[in-house]
Structure 1
Amino acid sequence: MLNVLPLRAILYQLFFIVLAIAVEAIVLQFYLGIGKKSSIQYASTANLFSTVVGWLVFFSSDRWLPQPWQQQLMNYIFLDEISNYSLLVVIAFVTFLGTFVVKLQSLNWLDLILENKPTSVTEVRDRTKFQGKSAQRQAFQEVPSRALAVLLANSASFALIALIILIRTVSEQPVAF
């Protein structure tokens, strides 16, 4: 275990959390049709929970990685040095899928805690059962898919964060003449 405080990694993590909350709140507000305050609360809760779970998974799974991967991952986190871009892409993809699942589950738990009952598709189908196909299609489209909204929000925040990391990485590379 290193006795080094990765201040740069902590600051970037805080910056990315704030950025992800802002982007995901906008997407959740638009796709779920909820208010600004609720969308910010949902995005904040989901991102903070997924960050804590992510770091717990990282620290518990680090010891099972092969030694070269451990070294490369520690170099990236603590020293901001990248030697294997393909490993970084794989880790980013696994992180994306993991945070999507954790964020979706955290929103479900948050609804259970707050005792909010989201409108289900079967309830809408029952209400429009005898109103014809166009009414059923329109009512089905009104029901937001929480999983799709969380996937789009997670995708938007990950895309923006990846763009910032790419810009930072490219701008810090020495220019060869």
Structure 2
Amino acid sequence: MPENWMLPRIFPFGGILFDFLFVLIAIPIEAYILNNRLKFDKKTSTFYAISINLFSSVIGWFIFFIIEPMLPIQVRAELINYMFFHNFKLPNTQGLLILTAFIIFFATFLMKFFILRVLLFSLNETFPKKEEELPTSQRRRWRSFSNLKLQSNNLAITILMANSLSYTAITIILLFGAK
């Protein structure tokens, strides 16, 4: 491996295994939401839930391994202290942790939304053929534009609901496991 790569010498295998556990919890929840809200069959919704969760998890770890060496030394020490010993030394670290959790939640939501859009677009086998454009009225154009906007909003709301429910389930499991 080249020397100039900024990869960690020790991988956080415990964190990666916990992430794998969280993905295993999130997949059935998100598959159920995709099945109910977007009316996919169970096999398709499970495939999409597995795909978006694994892709977003891999992208998230990749971003973590890129950002972690750039952090200030005190924040890195706090991160390592929290990851290995589950305690904080700095008083303002809990606020930083809450802010980071919100950023991770919304970044994961955006990643899952765009990954699902790419998957839906790339796996669509029947692309509509371009037909000659018939003259349409302004009302019909606005109606079709509104329909496309509604479908996109439905997908975003569905992914937001699925992500929220899976994060809630993971948080509840973490709270029960902490006691």
- Report TM bin, short chain: 0.7 to 0.9
The change in CA–CA distance for 1:72 and 1:116 in structure 2 (over 3 A counts) is farther
Aligned match for 1:154, one of 149, 163, 169: 163
Deviations 1:92-138 (A, max 9, x none): 111100100000000011112212679xxxxxxx9xx79xxxxxxxx
Match of 1:71 in 2: 77
Identical amino acids, percent of aligned pairs: 32
Structure 2: segments with no counterpart, 5+ residues = 1-6, 128-135, 141-146
The alignment of Structure 1 onto Structure 2 pairs a total of residues equal to: 151
- For 1:56 and 1:165, the matched residues in 2 are separated by 23
SS across alignment from 2:82: helix
Match of 2:112 in 1: 103
- For 2:125 and 2:165, the matched residues in 1 are separated by 26
- For 2:115 and 2:98, the matched residues in 1 are separated by 25
Amino acid at match of 1:23: I
Q: Is the 8 A contact 1:111 1:117 kept in 2?
A: no
The change in CA–CA distance for 1:58 and 1:6 in structure 2 (over 3 A counts) is closer
Per the TM alignment, residue 2 of structure 1 is displaced from its structure 2 partner at its CA by: 5.4
Amino acid at match of 2:30: E
Match of 2:123 in 1: 114
Amino acid at match of 2:160: L
Q: Which runs of 4+ in 1 moved over 6 A?
A: none
Aligned match for 2:175, one of 158, 162, 166: 166
More displaced stretch, 148-157 vs 33-42 = 33-42
Q: Is the 8 A contact 2:8 2:65 kept in 1?
A: no
Aligned pairs for 1:5-154 (under 5 A) are 5-77=11-83, 79-83=84-88, 84-115=93-124, 145-154=154-163
Per the TM alignment, residue 81 of structure 1 is displaced from its structure 2 partner at its CA by: 1.4
Deviations 1:53-73 (A, max 9, x none): 101111111122222221122
Per the TM alignment, residue 168 of structure 1 is displaced from its structure 2 partner at its CA by: 2.0
- For 2:70 and 2:101, the matched residues in 1 are separated by 18
Q: Is the 8 A contact 1:100 1:151 kept in 2?
A: yes
The change in CA–CA distance for 1:29 and 1:85 in structure 2 (over 3 A counts) is same
More displaced stretch, 27-36 vs 107-116 = 107-116
Q: Is the 8 A contact 1:28 1:34 kept in 2?
A: yes
- For 1:117 and 1:45, the matched residues in 2 are separated by 21
Q: TM-score, normalised by structure 1?
A: 0.75
SS across alignment from 2:87: coil
- For 2:122 and 2:80, the matched residues in 1 are separated by 37
